[in-house]
Amino acid sequence: MSASASTIFDWSPLALSLELASITTVLLLLAGTPLAWWLVRRKTLARRAVTACVMLPLALPPTVLGFYLLLALGPHGPLGALAERWSGASFAFTFTGLVIASMVYSLPLVVQPLTAGFERLDAHHLETAALLGAGPWDRLVSVVLPLLRADLLTAAVLGFIHTFGEFGVVLMVGGDIPGRTRVLSLAIYDHVQALDYHEANLLSAAAIGMSFTALLLLYLITQRRR
Amino acid sequence: MLTFRFQLRQGGFDLDAQGVLPAQGRSVIFGPSGAGKTTLLRLVAGLERGAQARIAYGDELWEDRERGVRIPPHRRGVGLVFQHPVFLPGCTVEQALRYGWRRRQPAERRDAFAAAVERFDLGAQLRRRVETLSGGQRQRVALLRALLAAPRLLLLDEPFSGIDAELRTTLLHVLETLHTAQALPMIYVTHSAEEAVRFADHLLLLEAGRVRALGPADTLAADVSLPLARRPDAAVAINTEFVQHDADDGVSRLAFAGGELWVTANRPREPGARLRVLVHARDVSLARTRPQASSILNVLPAQVAALAELPDAAVVVSLRIGATPLLARVSRRSARELELQPGSAVYAQVKGVALQHP
pLDDT tens, position by position, B98-145: 999 999 888 888 778 888 898 888 889 999 999 999 888 899 999 999
Beta bridge partners of B326: B319
User: For B104, which of A133, A138, A146 is closest by C-beta distance?
Assistant: A133
Give the best residue of A44, A121, A125, A132 to mutate against chain B (max B CB count within 10 A): A132
Closest chain B CA to residue A145: B88
CATH topology for the B2-216 domain:
Rossmann fold (3.40.50)
B100 vs A125: CB contact, 8 Å cut-off?
no
In a domain, A6, yes or no: no
pLDDT of residue B182 exceeding 80? no
Question: Does residue A1 lie within any of the structural domains?
Answer: no
Domain with CATH 3.40.50.300 in chain B: 2-216
Q: What are the chain B neighbours of A133 within 8 Å (beta carbons)?
A: 74, 100, 103-104, 149
Q: Which residue of B has its CA nearest to A132?
A: B100
The structural domain count of chain A equals 1
Which residues from A are below 8 Å from B145, CB to CB? Answer: 132
Provide CATH 2.40.50.100 ranges for chain B: 235-354
- Assess if residue A5 is contained within a domain: no
Interface contact A5, partner B, CB < 8 A: no
**DSSP-derived pairing of the beta strands B314-321 and B274-280:** unpaired
Task: State the pLDDT at residue A2.
Answer: 41
Least confident of B49-53, B240-244, B346-350: B49-53
In a domain, A83, yes or no: yes
Judge whether A135 lies within some domain. yes
Q: What is the mean pLDDT of each run of 10 residues along chain A (226 residues)?
A: 57 92 96 92 88 93 92 89 85 91 96 94 94 92 92 94 92 88 92 93 92 90 68
For residues B320 and B312, give the distance between their C-alpha atoms in angstroms, rounded to a whole number: 24
Count CB pairs under 8 A between chains A and B.
Answer: 54
Query: pTM for the whole thing?
Result: 0.81
C-alpha distances (whole Å) from B349 to each of A51, A189, B285, B294, B302 are: 72, 100, 5, 10, 10
Instruction: Determine the distance in angstroms separating the CA of A80 from the nearest CA of chain B, rounded to an integer.
Output: 43
Q: With contact defined as beta carbons under 8 Å apart, do A158 and A110 qualify? A: yes
Measured between CA atoms, the residue of chain A closest to residue B99 is A132
CB contact under 8 A, A124 and B86: yes
Are B99 and A132 in contact (CB < 8 Å)? yes
Domain B235-354 has CATH 2.40.50.100: yes
Cβ contact, residue pair A133, B79, below 8 Å: no
Q: Does B74 touch chain A (CB under 8 A)?
A: yes
* CB nearest to B149's CB, from A122, A133, A146: A133
Q: B82 and chain A: CB distance < 8 Å anywhere? A: yes
CA distance A132 to chain B (A): 5
3-state SS of chain B?
CEEEEEEEEECCEEEEEEEEECCCCEEEEECCCCCCHHHHHHHHHCCCCCCEEEEEECCEEEEECCCCEECCHHHCCEEEECCCCCCCCCCEHHHHHHHHHHCCCHHHCCCCHHHHHHHCCCHHHCCCEHHHCCHHHHHHHHHHHHHHCCCCEEEEECCCCCCCHHHHHHHHHHHHHHHHHHCCCEEEEECCHHHHHHHCCEEEEEECCEEEEEEEHHHHHCCCCCHHHHCCCCEEEEEEEEEEEECCCCEEEEEECCEEEEEECCCCCCCCCEEEEEEEHHHEEEECCCCCCCCCCEEEEEEEEEEEECCCCEEEEEEEECCEEEEEEEEHHHHHHCCCCCCCEEEEEECHHHCECC
Residue B301, beta-bridge partner list:
B347
Q: What pLDDT is attached to residue A226?
A: 46
Closest alpha carbon within chain A to B83: A124
* 3-class state of residue A166 by DSSP: coil
Structural contact between residues A40 and A112, judged by C-beta atoms closer than 8 angstroms: no
A135 contacts chain B (CB < 8 A): yes
> Are A147 and B89 within 8 A, CB to CB?
yes
pLDDT digits 0-9 by tens, B239-263: 899 999 888 888 889 999 888 888 8
Tell me, letter by letter, the H, E, C secondary structure of B229-240. Answer: HHCCCCEEEEEE
Closest CA to A5 of A178, A167, A165: A178
Which positions ≥6 away from A65 have C-beta within 8 Å?
A57, A101, A104, A105, A168, A169
* pLDDT at A3 (0 to 100): 41
Q: For residues B281 and B234, is the Cβ–Cβ distance under 8 A?
A: yes
Distance from CA of A53 to the nearest CA of B (A): 29
In a domain? residue A171: yes
Q: Evaluate if residue B65 carries a pLDDT over 50.
A: yes
Instruction: List the CATH number of the domain containing A80.
Output: 1.10.3720.10
Nearest Cα of chain A lies from the Cα of B155 at a distance, in angstroms, of: 10
Partner B contacted by A124 (CB < 8 A): yes
pLDDT at B356: 63
Q: What domain range includes position A57? A: 11-225
Residue B289: pLDDT over 90: no
The verdict on ipTM greater than 0.90 is: no
